[in-house]
Amino acid sequence: MNTGALIEQSLARILRSVSGDGGPPRLAAAMQHAVFPGGARFRPRLCLAVAQACDAAESPAAQVAACAIELLHCASLAHDDLPCFDDAGTRRGLPSVHRAYGEPLAVLAGDALIVLAFQAVTLEQRIPAELRLQLLALLGAASGMPHGIAAGQAWECEADVALAAYQRAKTGALFAAATAAGALVGGEDPVRWRIVGEYIGEAYQVADDIGDVAALPMNLGKPSGRDAALGRPNAVGRLGMSAAQRRLRELIDASVESVPDCPGAEELRQRILAATQQLFASRLARPAA
Amino acid sequence: MNTGALIEQSLARILRSVSGDGGPPRLAAAMQHAVFPGGARFRPRLCLAVAQACDAAESPAAQVAACAIELLHCASLAHDDLPCFDDAGTRRGLPSVHRAYGEPLAVLAGDALIVLAFQAVTLEQRIPAELRLQLLALLGAASGMPHGIAAGQAWECEADVALAAYQRAKTGALFAAATAAGALVGGEDPVRWRIVGEYIGEAYQVADDIGDVAALPMNLGKPSGRDAALGRPNAVGRLGMSAAQRRLRELIDASVESVPDCPGAEELRQRILAATQQLFASRLARPAA
């Protein structure tokens, strides 16, 4: 089975583990809607690619960690799309969770998905206890305060935004957790691997900013031009389009160069390069409106 | 130091551990507002009382588990008060989190407090790894799907409400986690202790329903008459006031009688009786409007 199919299968299994059994069916459906169909699944793919480079691709820990990170990402999207944040009616080309199930279930789906991310790792008996706790610590740091995605989103509510902290937390935190978790399950030092995810996360953020300015909504699966409308920081607004594109290429190169030595380092470098170029291609295809 | 002061001190320490350090200050303040000043701290007190009955009052695990349960409770209040749920402008006699900090930070404060509950247990090195994982499993079950507080709140969004499941999840889940966690850290069987918390939780729910119908808002610290206004199930509406009061007394008795044998069983029974009577006194003082 290829990586993409494995991720979908694992996510479905994890969601099934808390659906049914007498729980409220519409919340189960809203959680399902928040997770499927997925986007690029970039974060879990990155986690698994790092695990593979560290010779741990087959480890159950890698699968579960990858999925837990994706669940945190899906939870944050359900909350970020709410009327009080981005007020996004569409996501991945479909109605956003609150548009499909109403605001209360969108809030609760996000809550329950955050909990599920921690549950999935906690309950995975095939992972040694100490490793489970190390992975849980990574998930906590990546999602909470002071540097996780909730903190990142909260910077939009500050009058005085620490721009680097904002971007590192809002986008970088889960990417850094993905590379750190992949390394951890492979027995490598997670600290040395965080930087790879941080560069990729920053690249992703710049690509997202370019997409927000330049792309057609049909290519994004969500509305474009939101940053300007919502007064959010945007790399294109700050640097101009061509400097933003240059910065994006620099960040991709930096991420590739920062891959530490490991059994599959060279292959991983090639995969990061290919994946980032493929992912960003549609957004860069229309560089200026 | 008495139990109440210990709980406040531990909660403050846990919140401090993720505030500052370059995180967004308004989110830190919103989290603080969601947790302090507290209400009765009934759930953490119950957890510590059970731990004490099992001779584990001094255990760091008991303190951390008690606080993690309270953090999950505070997170749920911040979300339940949102305009899309109860639209409550006050809580514990002060502005609700969204009234004080806006909806986005109320959503994010809830998210970050959920994460913090898991972080606090995960990172507590003084607790053996296996026990930390058992406590984390309790927290997950009590807060997520299919039977945790998110599931309980979600029953309000179902056309066909499973009333027992609704009440057990919405209120009972954290009380059951409190008694189970207290037993677990004391080396007792958590399964036998869950029932104590379930009875107390159901008693609490009935008392809350009575309070919602009968109390003055100033005694609740939040608006009264909300269940009828929001079409939510309410024991008084279902049973009538005097049957609801009878049911409340039965549940308190059942909780006391279900306390398993342990070194401090008799003292615990007395404490449950005293605490429930004290807690519910103000609400029962005005039995019918």
CA dist B123 → A176, A221, B68, B127 (Å): 19, 38, 12, 9
Tell me the one-letter amino acid at B132.
R
Nearest to B149 by CA among A193, A76, A255, A115: A115
Is A125 a member of any domain?
A: yes
Model pLDDT, residue A213: 85
Residue B172 in tokens? 């009972």
> B192: distance to nearest CA of chain A, Å?
21
Cα torsion angle, B56, B61, B63, B67, sign: negative
d(CA A108, CA B171): 16
Low-confidence ranges of chain A (pLDDT < 50): 286-289
CB neighbours of A37 closer than 8 A, spacing ≥ 6? A92, A94
| Contact between B138 and B177 (Cβ < 8 Å) | yes
| Contact between B181 and B135 (Cβ < 8 Å) | yes
> B235: distance to nearest CA of chain A, Å?
20
d(CA A249, CA A93): 27
Q: Write the CATH number for B72.
A: 1.10.600.10
Rg (CA), chain B: 18
Is B61 a member of any domain?
A: yes
Residue A271 in tokens? 């995969």
Tell me the one-letter amino acid at A46.
L
Q: Which of residues 82-141 of B touch A (CB under 8 A)?
A: 82, 84-85, 101-105, 107-108, 110-112, 114-116, 118-119, 122-123, 129-130, 132-133, 136-137, 139-141
Walk along chain B (289 residues) in steps of 10 and give the mean pLDDT of each run: 93 96 95 96 96 93 98 98 96 96 98 98 97 98 98 93 84 96 97 96 89 71 77 84 91 96 95 82 52
ipTM of the complex: 0.94
User: Chain B interface, mutation test: which of A32, A97, A107, A136, most B Cβ atoms within 10 Å?
Assistant: A107
Measured between beta carbons, which residues in chain A are less than 8 angstroms from residue B111? Answer: 75, 79, 110-111, 114, 143-144, 150
Model pLDDT, residue B167: 84
Length of chain A in terms of residues written: 289
Model pLDDT, residue A208: 86
d(CA A234, CA A232): 6
Model pLDDT, residue A282: 58
Residue A69 half-sphere exposure, CB side, CA atoms within 13 Å? 32
Chain B CB within 8 Å of residue A37 CB: no
CA dist A111 → A78, A201, B268 (Å): 9, 24, 34
Measured between beta carbons, which residues in chain B are less than 8 angstroms from residue A22? Answer: 146-147, 162, 165
Is B289 a member of any domain?
A: no
d(CA B202, CA B20): 39
Model pLDDT, residue B86: 92
| Contact between A225 and A249 (Cβ < 8 Å) | no
Return the residue matching tokens 């009765």: B40
Residue B59 in tokens? 């255990």
Q: Which of residues 143-162 of A touch B (CB under 8 A)?
A: 143-148, 150-151, 153-158, 162
Which of B84, B144, B158 is nearest residue A26 as measured by Cβ atoms?
B158
Model pLDDT, residue A145: 98
Which of A129, A140, A153 is nearest residue B118 as measured by Cβ atoms?
A140
Query: Nearest residue on chain B to A145, judged by CA atoms?
Result: B18
Measured between beta carbons, which residues in chain B are less than 8 angstroms from residue A26? Answer: 154, 157-158
Tell me the one-letter amino acid at B35.
V
| Contact between B177 and B26 (Cβ < 8 Å) | no
Is A23 a member of any domain?
A: yes
CB pairs under 8 A between A and B: 205
| Contact between B22 and A165 (Cβ < 8 Å) | yes
Asked if B118's CB is within 8 angstroms of A162's CB, the reply is no
State the pairing for strand pair A94-95/B90-91: unpaired
d(CA B93, CA B90): 6
CA dist B220 → B39, B199, B223 (Å): 10, 22, 7
As a whole number of angstroms, the longest Cα–Cα distance in chain B is 55
Q: Which of residues 167-206 of A touch B (CB under 8 A)?
A: 169
Chain B CB within 8 Å of residue A233 CB: no
Q: Which long-range contacts (CB under 8 A, 24 or more apart) does A268-271 make?
A: A268/A49, A268/A50, A268/A52, A268/A53, A271/A49
Burial B194-220 (b: 16+ CB within 10 A, else e): bbbbbbbbbbbbbbbbbbbbbbeeeeb
State the pairing for strand pair B94-95/B90-91: antiparallel
Which of B18, B136, B155 is nearest residue A144 as measured by Cβ atoms?
B18
Residue A224 half-sphere exposure, CB side, CA atoms within 13 Å? 18
Cis preceding-peptide flag for B146 (omega within 30 of 0): yes
Asked if A102's CB is within 8 angstroms of B157's CB, the reply is yes
What's CA B246's distance to the chain center, in Å?
23
Chain A CB within 8 Å of residue B77 CB: no
d(CA A76, CA B108): 10
Is B251 a member of any domain?
A: yes
Return the residue matching tokens 């169909």: A37
Asked if A114's CB is within 8 angstroms of B111's CB, the reply is yes
CB neighbours of B213 closer than 8 A, spacing ≥ 6? B224, B225, B227, B228, B234, B236, B237, B241, B289
List the domain range (segments joined by +) for residue B268: 3-284
Asked if B108's CB is within 8 angstroms of A153's CB, the reply is yes
d(CA B46, CA B39): 14
Measured between beta carbons, which residues in chain B are less than 8 angstroms from residue A145? Answer: 18-19, 23-24, 27-28, 31, 112, 115-116
Query: Nearest residue on chain B to A155, judged by CA atoms?
Result: B24
Rg (CA), chain A: 18
Return the residue matching tokens 């699944």: A41
Cα torsion angle, B17, A86, A195, A59, sign: positive
Is A257 a member of any domain?
A: yes
- Total tally of structural domains belonging to chain B: 1
As a whole number of angstroms, the longest Cα–Cα distance in chain A is 55
Is A101 a member of any domain?
A: yes
Asked if B146's CB is within 8 angstroms of A137's CB, the reply is no
Asked if A122's CB is within 8 angstroms of B157's CB, the reply is no
